[in-house]
């Protein structure tokens, strides 16, 4: 039997309802399905793509351009992909957040469409949140 002196009083804080939960920078969220606890920063500016991943992305864009010279991707397509996918293959950021990384806000939607058409990206739309993009590197390029 428990003695009253052995009990500890704790406070349970009320958790907000889902529709009342704060939206902590949702427009800058990068989805990472296999994310584990890490001391590494999660924001793109603080976590640049590693050199090997940038090389893989650049190789995929170059291979596409060689195979499709009449529909070549813009010169900064590899840089855009490296910014969007520094370490994971899924990213959910607003176009404003991506443009803030140094890309033209006016040209960004067309470039993203071209990357989807090229098969390097797929896009999933959900109302009231930024689109989710998934990177698709050719199997020979992935490491």
Q: Which CATH number covers residue 138?
A: 1.10.10.10
Range of the domain at 112: 48-143
Q: How far is CA 96 from the centre of its chain?
A: 13
Report if residue 7 sits inside a domain: no
**DSSP line for 26-41:** GGG----TT----SS-
pLDDT tens by residue, the chain, 143 residues: 555 555 544 444 444 444 444 444 444 445 444 444 344 444 444 455 588 899 999 999 999 999 999 999 999 999 999 999 998 999 999 999 999 999 999 999 999 999 999 999 999 988 888 889 999 998 754 44
How many domains in the chain?
Answer: 1
Report if residue 109 sits inside a domain: yes
Backbone angles phi, psi at 59, to 5 degrees: -65, -40
Report if residue 6 sits inside a domain: no
The pLDDT assigned to 51 comes to: 86
The pLDDT assigned to 50 comes to: 83
Report if residue 19 sits inside a domain: no
Report if residue 77 sits inside a domain: yes
Rounded distance between C-alpha atoms, residue 75 and residue 47, angstroms: 23
The pLDDT assigned to 48 comes to: 57
The pLDDT assigned to 128 comes to: 80
The pLDDT assigned to 79 comes to: 95
Residue 73: DSSP 8-state: P
């Amino acid at each position: 039997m428990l003695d009253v002196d052995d009990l500890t009083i704790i406070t349970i804080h009320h958790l907000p309802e889902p529709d009342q939960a704060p939206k902590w920078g949702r427009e800058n969220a990068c989805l990472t399905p296999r994310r584990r606890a890490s001391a590494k920063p999660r924001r793109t500016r603080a976590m640049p793509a590693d050199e090997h991943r940038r090389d893989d992305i650049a190789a995929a864009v170059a291979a596409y351009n060689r195979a499709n010279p009449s529909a070549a991707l813009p010169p900064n397509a590899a840089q855009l992909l490296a910014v969007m996918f520094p370490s994971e293959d899924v990213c959910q950021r607003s176009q404003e957040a991506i443009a803030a990384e140094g890309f033209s806000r006016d040209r960004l939607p067309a470039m993203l469409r071209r990357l989807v058409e090229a098969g390097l990206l797929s896009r999933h739309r959900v109302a009231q949140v930024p689109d989710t993009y998934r990177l698709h590197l050719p199997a020979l390029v992935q490491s």
